[in-house]
Amino acid sequence: MLGLQYFSFDAIWSPIFLFVMVAIGIGYFYLAGPWRLKHAPEAPAVTAGQKIWFVCGATLFYFAQGGPLDLLGHLLFSFHMTDMAISYLIVPPMLLLGIPEFMWRAAFGKPFWRRLNLLMHPILTLLLFNMLFSVYHMPQIHDYVMVHFAVHRFYYGLLLVTSVMMWWQIVCPVKDWNRLTDLRKMAYVFANGMLLSPACALIIFAGSPMYSTYNDPEAWAKAMGYCVAGDPSALLALFKGPSFFSLMSPLEDQQLGGIIMKLVQEIMYGAILAYVFFHWFKREHRDSDDVLPEHGTTGTAGAN
């Protein structure tokens, strides 16, 4: 089981984080039901599709940041990149599709938020997420974040917020807050792919392992101390380092991680690009059909 059998229930399933995610889910269904009927009765009912999007997104986020995948992400770099891809490329658009418009208006419709409107400029959100993601994967930054718990939580939270801000420009759930036309959304998706590619290429084509967290036993044990209870030195005595859990060399594991991130990026951006293009094409043809003259109108006018 990829080494999970060596760890406790708490280390694998993170019960406190699971409790928090369940509480968030209960809050969502309360807002979607009783709260909407009392405070926003004119708002459309939350659809089954929206509920499925939200539950699936929240479940994936739990597995990536608190469940078994999170622990595996501390053992192997390839799983770490899987966690990153799920958390910041897959989960945000699912949550945006799952949270209905009236919830967004209730949360961010107050005049106060207009002062921060500049932060939601498409170019700024594009640069913020991709810059933070790329900087994080510089070896010195990555290793520092992984072994400093408070910094780790803050940086991951910042990545989540900026990823939602970035995806908002593409999957905007509030129609009159949408800033981009369909053509600009396609360009935006393309730009995202271009900006994320250098970080993936650096990881894939590196000639040696870059991250001490995954090839230096001491650094690995210190990072593991934040997700496994007990003395980190006991981990070294038991496993001697992360190589115990891998059939690959650290370099191969690193390259696989970069490939996973690039593949998920290409699939997600490709699917979104196709979705936006389809709706743009459909809308353009519908609009052009609406302005066509009725058959026979010209001939009748000429005859008169």
* The predicted structure's pLDDT at residue 137: 94
* The predicted structure's pLDDT at residue 80: 96
Domain locations in the chain as residue ranges = 9-287
* The predicted structure's pLDDT at residue 38: 95
Segment 177-198, tens digit of pLDDT:
999 998 899 999 999 999 999 9
The reported pTM is: 0.89
Q: What is the 3-state secondary structure (H, E, C) of 18-81?
A: HHHHHHHHHHHHHHHHHHHHHHCCCCCCCCHHHHHHHHHHHHHHHHHHCCHHHHHHHHCHHHHH
3-state secondary structure of 254: helix
- Half-sphere exposure in the Cβ direction for 90 (13 Å, CA): 22
Indicate if the pLDDT at residue 301 is higher than 60: no
Indicate if the pLDDT at residue 297 is higher than 70: no
* The predicted structure's pLDDT at residue 285: 75
* The predicted structure's pLDDT at residue 282: 80
Indicate if the pLDDT at residue 53 is higher than 60: yes
Segment 245-287, tens digit of pLDDT:
888 999 999 999 999 999 999 999 998 888 888 878 887 777 6
* The predicted structure's pLDDT at residue 291: 54
Indicate if the pLDDT at residue 304 is higher than 60: no
CB proximity list for 236: less than 8 A, separation 6 or greater: 217, 218, 221
